[in-house]
A and B are shown apart, each in its own frame.
Chain A
Amino acid sequence: MERIKEPLLHITRRDGMPLWKSMLIRAGAVLIALVISSIFISAAAPNSQGFFGFFGSFFSGSFGTMRRLSQLLRETSMLLLVALALVIAFKMKFWNLGGNGQILMGCLASAMCLVYLGGRIPNGVLWLIMFVVSILAGAIWALLPALFKAFFNTNESLFTLMMNYIAMYLVAFFITHWYPQGSGAMPSMSEYALIVKFSDPSNTSIWGKTIPVVLAAVLVTIFIYCYLRYHKHGFEISIVGESVNTARYAGINVKKVIIRTLILSGALCGLVGFLLVATVNQMITTTMDGNMGFTGIIVAWMGKFDPLVMIGVSLFVNFLTRGMSQVCIDFGFTSEALSDTVVGLIYFFLIGCEFFISYKLHFSKGRAKKDRPDFMDPAPKPPEITDTTAQTQQENTPDAAEETA
């Protein structure tokens, strides 16, 4: 008789996992990644401060001074805004990879206002025009792929990717057009900065740029949360994301939903562009988007497409990035690229650990269970057995997580 080969490992989907347990797995994954990178860095650094110095530096990158804390909050808000813009498209399974381009177009529109209108009209009017134009520019940049997706089912991820580069070269074109003699850079026009002024100038320089950005992020988070949760549009988005055919059957105009959602998504990216130019930089470069369009995707996905969870995730991602660049400075690395490497490594671990949250591993125990392996059992298991498997799972998880490493 032919012997059936029993697989060593058997995987099933989990129904759910308590929040504390899933957070523990994620924290474990980050910790493993950090310890691995800290060992390498403290061994290889030209100016090493040891294993514990690594973590000291790491925290001081975000919380060392008031200025760093303010910058952490500002960048978190920016990233959150981008992630919120992208999440409404992702809920619809529309892979908007064009966040970078949409942000840059918003920046470009704002910068254009600065160059052509700055000083000719009152600042208040200037900001209003910049705001409107940036939002329009971002929306148009997202509308193009959306139109073709809706009418011809054109692959949106590649379309939006290409739009990133088109936006980048457009910005490069305008910079050289405006400043042909310059070194490819636009001087900062700080007299038009949209910042909050305090009576104490040092407070202004620390918090002035942060407050408007954080305010915008808070408002948009509330708006998107309510939009997705309580508004009819949000419901339609999730139906289209689940199944286009169901949506059509329910009488939802899928084309309209796609176009409307992407206009909103692009407009929010345009808003980020406006904030980057009007509040933070008052100038434009081709890399001003800071790759937030891509980081935002990771934030949205790790935040399970939930706006409130995404707040925490974007804070965490910025904490990592800032901590790592501080480590690079303190440990004497000249290039910032190392921080990207470590952040990339942490992403791998965070992505990998999601598996252990949504799936359950069963290790077969040799010959003993051969007569009735549980993947051949069609009947639903009684609760006691589920409990024991859950227990073995708990024992196995750390091993499995290490294997991922």
Chain B
Amino acid sequence: MDIMFFSSAIEFGVIFLFGCVGEILTEKSGHLNLGIPGIMCMGAAGGCFGAKLYLMPTDNPNGFVTILMAILFAMLFAAALGAVYAFLTVSLRMNQNVTGLACTIFGVGFTSFFLNTIVLTEGVSTKLSYAGQNFFNAALPGAESTGWFGTIFLDHGTLVYLAIIIAVLAALMLRYTKIGLNLRAVGESPATADAVGINVTRYKYSFIILGAAIAGLGGLCCIMDFNLGNVDANVSQTIQGIGWLSIALVIFTMWKPALAIVGSIVFGALYILSSRITMISFEQIQLLNLIPFIVTVIVLIATSMIGHRETQPPASLGLSYFREDR
């Protein structure tokens, strides 16, 4: 039971991890993207659409191609909404909070509409849940023979490993490469970065769109990996809640993708806690659901009280950059 719990915590946590790493990259470029919940929903819509495109005409679907199609379309849809956000906030310099909220409203509405009317035509949901169970959740070899080690480390779908690889790559990129250094400079002080000759606009666009694409995988992961391909009617509402928590997780992990791996598993454990504890009443479940949010608030307060420089957001987070403003 405990090992199973830990294993599901990892599986649920990576949904947060996708959203969180995507938002970290966006925030490092100086943009607070409150559209992440909507963007994650778009990823879910796109992923299901991509999987449908391949699965419906094919009789004997190949697992690898299915996953590839789903990932491709999830990233494409999410990146599209990310590009709208980037255009409005970078090029048109509009308020980031307002634009982000509009993205969320659009993304959640669009996904719920798109999934119900366009993706879920006849026969799609059985194929999707078949793909979810057999392709997305295919365990690595040796998962069953190695006992607890296998259950925790090997018994996951492809997206779980992808999430961790992306988080590690993002951490290395931010810490050790020139691109990462430039990106952090853009987020801290775009005017200085501009003076040094860094193309601020290009960096902002690239990383907002890349961040959105990564976050979009979170939505795909929620439906295909954790829900085993079952698309229920309220899925966009669920993903929206996860999306807000992913944004909170960015603060929880102090803008460090490597820490986000641990943080997301903790969040995953807190989030699924209420459904894993047996022998409690329905009203107690509601109280258990509060825990991740309360923990976030406490961490938020604690990090702000410590007020260490390393734990602070990028200095120009939320401010539009206009070269001619001095």
Which residues of A are at the interface with B, using a C-beta cutoff of 8 A?
11-13, 95, 97, 148, 152-155, 157-159, 161-166, 169-170, 172-173, 176-177, 180, 291, 294-295, 297-298, 301, 333-335, 337-341, 343-345, 347-348, 351-352, 354-355, 359, 404
Contacts and interface: CB of A to CB of B under 8 A. Distances in A.
A177 B283 contact: yes
Most chain A CB within 10 A, of B99, B244, B290, is at B290
Contact of B300 (A155, A291, A359): A155
Interface stretch (B72-80, B88-96, B124-132, B169-177): B88-96
B305 interface: yes
A351 B297 contact: no
Interface stretch (B2-10, B100-108, B143-151, B224-232): B100-108
Nearest to B97: A95
A112 to B, nearest CB: 15
A162 B106 contact: no
Contact of B322 (A13, A177, A297, A341): A13
A82 to B, nearest CB: 13
A351 B105 contact: no
Question: Interface residues of B: mostly helix, strand, loop or mixed?
Answer: helix
A166 B283 contact: no
Interface string B300-318: 1100110100000100000
B106 A344 contact: yes
Contacts of A95: 97
A285 to B, nearest CB: 13
A162 B293 contact: yes
Nearest to B303: A154
11 contacts: A154-B300, A154-B301, A158-B296, A162-B248, A162-B297, A166-B290, A180-B282, A294-B105, A333-B117, A338-B109, A340-B112
B283 A180 contact: yes
Q: Which 3 A-B pairs have the closest CB atoms?
A: A340-B109, A344-B106, A337-B112
B84 interface: yes
Contact of A340 (B88, B99, B105, B116): B105
B105 A97 contact: no
B78 to A, nearest CB: 15
Nearest to B93: A355
Contact of B117 (A172, A180, A335): A335
Nearest to A350: B102
A185 to B, nearest CB: 13
B301 A348 contact: no
Nearest to A356: B92
Nearest to A164: B244
A27 to B, nearest CB: 18
Most chain A CB within 10 A, of B93, B98, B282, is at B98
Contacts of B17: none
A166 B293 contact: yes
Contact of A152 (B94, B293, B307): B307
B289 interface: yes
B251 A335 contact: no
B300 A159 contact: yes
B106 A340 contact: yes
Contact of B290 (A11, A97, A170, A344): A170
A348 B293 contact: no
B128 to A, nearest CB: 18
A359 B293 CA distance: 40
